Structure 1
Amino acid sequence: MKRYLSTALLLHAFMTYGAFAQDSYDAARFASSDLNGTARYVGMGGALGALGGDISVMSTNPAGTGLFRSNEAMISLGLLWADDGVLGKHSVRPSIDNIGLIISSRVATEGQKGLKYINYGVNYTKRANYFSNLNCSVDNLNGVFSQTNQIANLANTCYDGNFESWGLLADMSAPMFDEDGNLVHGGIINEDESGYYGVGAEQAEYRRATYGSNIQCDFNISMNISDQFFFGLALGVYNIDYNRESLYGEIGTDGNYYSLSNWYQTTGDGIDVKFGFICRPIADSPFRFGINIHTPIWYSLRDQNGAYLSSNGNYISSGDGGVFDYSYRTPWVFGLSVGHTIGTNFAIGAEYEYSDYSTSKYTTDDGYEDAYFRQINDNTKRFLQGVSTFKIGMEYKPIDAFSVRLGYNYVSAPMKSDSYRIIAADSPFTETDFTNWKAINRITFGFGYRYKVGYIDFAYQYSAQKGDFYAFDEVNLKPTEISNNRSQFMCTLGFKF
C-alpha cells in the first residue's frame, strides 16, 4: 500500500487543500463575547441594560445612551492576565478596552413633555479578547490511545488506489516514496498490506497560545421621551483577528517520539444592528425595565493554517493549508433587564440574555450553502446549544463624588458535553484537539471618583471557566480537565463638555 509521489498526486493535493476547515468550535468562539467596556460598566458586571447612562451599554441595549444629558468622551486602558506564558507568548498583555464619544442634543426645554433629547454616540470596544495560554499533560493514554490512530484512520479513508482525496494531516504523516521506491519523507504512522495503523502512546503533552481580538465599533442614536421612554439603535461594525499556535508531542510505546506544530489564523469583518428600549412604567418611580434585540452578525472571514512535523528531533514534513474565504452568521440575541435606584446613592441592575448558538450558519463567501457547509451546519445544530447569560451589579455612593461597585456574571456552556471535532479526510485542518468548555463565572468590583468636568474609574474582573480537553478524537479516551482563568484590571478616564 505504499504511497508514491507523482505529478497527479501533487496536483490533487493542491486542489484538495482548497477545502474548508471550519467547524462548530469556531462557530461557538465567534458567537461569544467577553465582558468589556468602561471600568464602571465592568465593575457593575455589565448589568446596565435598564439603568443606562454608560456608553458601554450601547453594545447591549442601545437605548441606554438616551439617559445622557451632556456630552462625554472617555478612554479605557487595561491589563489582562492569563495562565503562564507558553510558546514564547507572555502571560500579561496591555489592552485598549474602550474609546467613546457621546453628543447629547436637547430638543425640549425643561418641564416639557415629548421628545427631550436626541443623543448620538460612537464607541470602540473589544467584543472578545482571544488571549489565553494552555500547558497540560494528556492523561489516560495507557499505551493504547494515540493521535496516530486518528491520523491512520484518515489516511485509510483517503487512500483509494488512485492517490485521491488526501487531506493535509494524513499527507504529512504518512510515508511517501518516489516512483523508484525511494523514501521522500517518513511518517509517524505505519503501514502493512491491510493499511495504515498507529502506535499507542505512553505519554503526551500539549501547549497552546491564542491571541488577537474581535474589535467592535458601534454607531448609535437614542431618544429620550418625557424621561420615561427611551429608544435606541446601534449599527455595529466588527473586525476579527484570531490567532492560535499549538504544539503536541507524543512518546510512543516503541520508544519513538514526535511533535506536531500548528498555526491557525482567522481574519475578517462583520456587521449587525441592535435595537433597544427602556421604560419607566410609573413616571414618578425610579424602577425601569429594558428590552434589547440584536440581529445576527454577518461575517466575511478568511482562514489560513499550516503545520510542521518532526520525529525523534528530525524534520519529517510541513504543509500550508492555503487560504479559505467564507461567510459566517451568528445567532440572534434577545435580552431583558431591570434596574432600580434608591435616592442618589444606590443603584442595582439585573440582566438576562439568550442566544441559540445552534442556529449559527456557515456559507460560501457568496452566501451559498453547499454540501460541505450543509454538513458543518448540521454538526453545529447537533453540538451547540442555547446560551443564557445572567448579569447582576450594584453601585453605592458613600459620598456624592465616590462610588463603589460590585458585579457577577454567569454564562452557560455553549457546547454539549458529548461534542467532538470532526475532521474530514480531505481537510486542510491539521489540529485534532478540542475542548468542551463549561460555564463561565465572572466576579467584578470597582470604584470611581466624579468631579465637575469628568471622572476616573477603576475595575477588576476575574473570569473562571473549566473545560474537558481531548488531544484527539477517541471514544474511550477520558478527558483532561483544564481551566481558562483570566484577570483584568482597567481604568477609565472620562470628560464632560
Structure 2
Amino acid sequence: MLKKSLVLMSISAAFFAQAQDVSIIRNSIEMYSGSPMVGSSKFNAMGGANGALGGDASSLLTNPAGLGVAISGEVSGTLSISNYKNTSTLGNSSLGYNKTQGDIGNIGAVMTFQLLSESAWKFVNIGVNFSNQSLDNYIETPGNTNIIYDFDIANNDSSSFGGHAYNRTGYLSKTSVGVGANYNNSLYIGAGLNFLNASIDQYDTARFNSTANGASELFDKNETPFSERSNGFSASLGVIGKVGPMFRLGASIETPTFWNIDRGYNFYNDSVYGDGSAVEDRRLTSPLKASVSAAFVPNKNFSLDVDYTLGLTKPKYKEYSGADVEINNFFKDNYKNLSELRIGAEYRLKQLRLRGGYAYASSPIDALTVSKFNNDGTASDQSYSNLILSDRNALSFGLGYDFKSFYIDATYQNISSKYTNPFMYGILDTNNGINSAYYSSTRTIESGSYIVSDVKSNRNNFFITFGWKF
C-alpha cells in the first residue's frame, strides 16, 4: 500500500526525496547536457560522424575545422519528419503512444574565400548552421489495482492506482557561426560560437480510482505543470590533419554550455501561500566535451569516418538553494560522463551517393537502488542500471544525387532505447520545506516508494535536404 510516512531509502537515491527529482535529472542530462545533432541529410545518414571529414556547415556540430575543408560555397535546407513511439509496461499491461510531426531540421551555409597569394594558406571559410529538434516525449503507464492508497481507513475511503502520464513538449535549437582555414591542403583549423535555445512545457499526472464506486480522481505532482524557457552559450575549437594520402585525424573541444533557465510552475498546499504559482531563475553549466576522429579516404568515391566524444566534466547547477546542492551531489555521485561513438561511410557512384551510419551513446547514470512497488502492491528495494535514461542506439542510411550545382539528399534514421520509468514518489515534510507529494483539488497522496514501469522508446526520423553549391 502507499504509505503516508517516509520509508528508508538507499543513499544513492536520496536526492529523489527532494524537489522535482526525475524530471530535473532527465532534463538536465537529456536536454541541457547534450547537443542538437540534427544536421544535413548527409550528416544524419552517416550517423553524425564527420569530425575528420568536414566539408559543410554541419561540421559546426562536431568539429569546426571541417569548415576549412570546403572549396566551394554552399547553402542547404533540411526538412525533418519525426515519429516516436513510447510503450510503457507495468505488470502484465502495456500502453503505447506515438506522434508524428514535421519541421525545419537544419539550415546551413558556407562561404569560401580563396587566398590568391604565395602563402600556404589556401582558404578561409565562414559557416553558419542552425539545428533544431523536437523535445516531445509522452509516456502513459497503465494502472494496477493492487496498489492502494487509504485516505480514510475508518470510513473505507481508499483508491487504487489507475495510471500515470508524463508529458513533455517543446524544442531545442542550436545556432552556430564559425570560421575554418585550410593550410596547404593538409592542415585545417576552425573555431565556432554556439547559441542554444530550449522551450518546454511539462506535466506529471496520476489517476486513482475509488475502490467503492470506481470514480476517477486526477492528481498533479507538486511544482507541476511547469514550463522552462532557456538560453545557453558555448564555444568550440578544432583541428584536422592529413597523416598520409588516405588518412585524416581530427580533434575538437567544446566548452561547457552556460544555461540561463527561467522556470514557472504551480505549487500546492504551501505552509505560507497555500496553492499558487511561482517563477524562478536557475543557472546550469553542462559538461565540457572533447572529440577525436579518424577518417579513411582511399579515393574520391569512398570515405569512412569514426568519431568518439567524451564528457570531461559533469552537469552543475549554481547553488541558490538546498535543492541545487542536492542535485549537484546526485550528479557528483551517480552521473557517468558522456560517451558516444559514431561511425559513418559514403560511397559515390558517378552522381549517386550511398550513405550509412551508426551511433551509440552509453547510459548516463550509474545503477541506482530505489524502493518500488511490486505487482502485488507490496514494496521492496530494487537496483536498476537503466533508471530514467539508458543506452541509445541509432542506425541510419541515405541516398543522394548530385545535379552539379544542385543536389538532393534523403535519409532514414532509427533511434531506440529501453529504460525504466520511476514515478509516484512524493512526500510532504513541512518542517524541512520538502513537498513532492501529489495533489487533487481536495486530497493529497504521499508515497515513500516508486512505481516503476519499463519503457521501450523507438524514434523514426526522415530527412530531405535541398542544396546549392556555388
Which amino acid letter does the alignment assign opposite residue 338 of structure 1? A
Which amino acid letter does the alignment assign opposite residue 71 of structure 1? G
Helix, strand or coil at the partner of 1:306: strand
Q: Does 1:281 align with 2:243?
A: yes
Instruction: Describe the superposition over 1:440-489 as per-residue Cα deviations: whole angstroms up to 9, x where unpaired.
Output: 10000101011221211111111101110122237765631112211110
Identity rate, percent: 23
Between the two proteins, the alignment pairs up a number of residues equal to: 398
Contact 1:20 1:324 in 2 (8 A): no
Contact 2:75 2:469 in 1 (8 A): yes
Q: Structure 2 residue aligned with 1:415, among 352, 362, 365?
A: 365
Residue matched to 1:397: 348
Residue matched to 1:60: 62
Q: Does 1:242 align with 2:200?
A: yes
Which amino acid letter does the alignment assign opposite residue 387 of structure 1? L
Residue matched to 2:325: 374
Distance 1:105 1:245, change over 3 A: same
Which amino acid letter does the alignment assign opposite residue 131 of structure 2? T
Is the deviation greater in 62-71 or in 199-208?
199-208
Q: Structure 2 residue aligned with 1:265, among 201, 221, 227?
A: 227
Q: Structure 2 residue aligned with 1:460, among 384, 397, 412?
A: 412
Residue matched to 1:142: 146
Any stretches of 5+ residues in structure 1 without a counterpart?
1-18, 149-188, 193-197, 310-317, 422-433
Which amino acid letter does the alignment assign opposite residue 143 of structure 1? I
Which amino acid letter does the alignment assign opposite residue 83 of structure 2? W
Contact 2:424 2:451 in 1 (8 A): no
Q: Does 1:26 align with 2:27?
A: yes
Alpha-carbon distance in 1 for matches of 2:167, 2:147: 27
Alpha-carbon distance in 1 for matches of 2:201, 2:152: 32
Q: Does 1:488 align with 2:461?
A: yes
Distance 1:468 1:138, change over 3 A: farther
Deviation of the 1:248 alpha carbon: 1.6
Q: Does 1:345 align with 2:347?
A: no
Helix, strand or coil at the partner of 2:389: strand
Contact 1:280 1:288 in 2 (8 A): yes
How does the TM-score come out when normalised to structure 1?
0.73
Distance 1:447 1:307, change over 3 A: farther
Contact 1:77 1:491 in 2 (8 A): yes
Alpha-carbon distance in 2 for matches of 1:98, 1:420: 41
Is the deviation greater in 469-478 or in 479-488?
469-478
Residue matched to 2:252: 292
Structure 2 counterparts to residues 310-325 of structure 1, below 5 A:
319-325=275-281
Residue matched to 1:384: 335
When Rg is computed on C-alpha atoms for both structures, the one with the higher figure is 1
Instruction: Describe the superposition over 1:302-360 as per-residue Cα deviations: whole angstroms up to 9, x where unpaired.
Output: 11123799xxxxxxxx9443111111110100111111112111111111001156x21
Instruction: Describe the superposition over 1:95-125 as per-residue Cα deviations: whole angstroms up to 9, x where unpaired.
Output: 111112111001145xx66211100011111
Question: Which segments of structure 1 move beyond 6 Å, counting only runs of 4 or more?
Answer: none
Contact 1:81 1:486 in 2 (8 A): yes
Q: Does 1:204 align with 2:156?
A: no
Instruction: Describe the superposition over 1:417-456 as per-residue Cα deviations: whole angstroms up to 9, x where unpaired.
Output: 31779xxxxxxxxxxxx95211110000101011221211
Helix, strand or coil at the partner of 2:367: coil
Distance 1:391 1:420, change over 3 A: farther
Q: Does 1:448 align with 2:408?
A: no
Distance 1:307 1:208, change over 3 A: farther
Instruction: Describe the superposition over 1:30-64 as per-residue Cα deviations: whole angstroms up to 9, x where unpaired.
Output: 11235311000000001100011121121111101
How does the TM-score come out when normalised to structure 2?
0.77
Contact 1:304 1:324 in 2 (8 A): yes
Residue matched to 2:125: 119
Residue matched to 1:218: 176
Any stretches of 5+ residues in structure 2 without a counterpart?
1-17, 89-96, 372-385, 426-446
Alpha-carbon distance in 2 for matches of 1:408, 1:99: 23
Alpha-carbon distance in 1 for matches of 2:180, 2:157: 63
